[in-house]
Amino acid sequence: MAEKLIDVKDVALKNNCPECFSKDGLRLIFKQKIRETKFYKSITSEISHEMTCKTCNSIIYPEQWTDDIDLVFEYQKKAFTPKKASTYLKKPYWIVIATFVILVALILFLVFFLNLQLPFDSLR
Ligand SMILES: [Zn+2]
């Protein structure tokens, strides 16, 4: 089972970067976890976030955040609407289901067919 995080929203912040003090490099990225198997792909409601600076190419961890960044983050977190959790069933899933249905139909047919045959056999 593969799990990956996809970027859902990318916000440019006007705060100073704690690393390089640039005013236009900070970006807050919201990510959402996607779970993928052979049979289905689903968007989970699990959210994570990451702050990076495009100017100095560093990841800004929450311990480095200033009070201003904290405030902006809280605001952005409230404004963020995650993608609705959903599951998409892939083709192999439907093939398995279809095969199962056909097998059951075949078994039912055989049972029915054999039941019809038996009386004639016993008459011989
Ligand atoms: Zn920076």
pLDDT at 92 over 60: yes
Whether 6 and 64 share a structural domain: yes
d(CA 88, CA 42): 6
Whether 97 and 78 share a structural domain: no
d(CA 32, CA 25): 23
The rounded Å distance from CA 6 to ligand 1 centre is: 23
Whether 101 and 76 share a structural domain: no
Strands (E), the chain: 2-12, 26-36, 40-53, 58-59, 86-89
Whether 31 and 79 share a structural domain: yes
pTM, 2 dp: 0.73
Query: Nearest Cα to 26, choosing from 37, 10, 15?
Result: 15
Residue 16 structural domain: 2-89
H or E element at residue 100? helix 91-123
The rounded Å distance from CA 69 to ligand 1 centre is: 13
Q: What is the pLDDT of residues 102-117, one digit of tens each?
A: 999 999 999 988 887 6
The rounded Å distance from CA 9 to ligand 1 centre is: 20
Q: What is the pLDDT of residues 2-47, one digit of tens each?
A: 999 999 999 999 999 999 999 999 999 999 999 999 999 999 999 9
Q: Would you report the helix, strand and coil content of the chain in percent, each value rounded to 5?
A: 40, 35, 25
d(CA 48, CA 45): 10
Q: What is the pLDDT of residue 72?
A: 96
Q: What is the pLDDT of residue 89?
A: 95
The rounded Å distance from CA 31 to ligand 1 centre is: 21
Summarize the confidence of residues 72-87 as an average pLDDT.
95
d(CA 24, CA 53): 8
Tokens 């095969």 identify what position?
Answer: 99
The rounded Å distance from CA 59 to ligand 1 centre is: 9
Whether 32 and 44 share a structural domain: yes
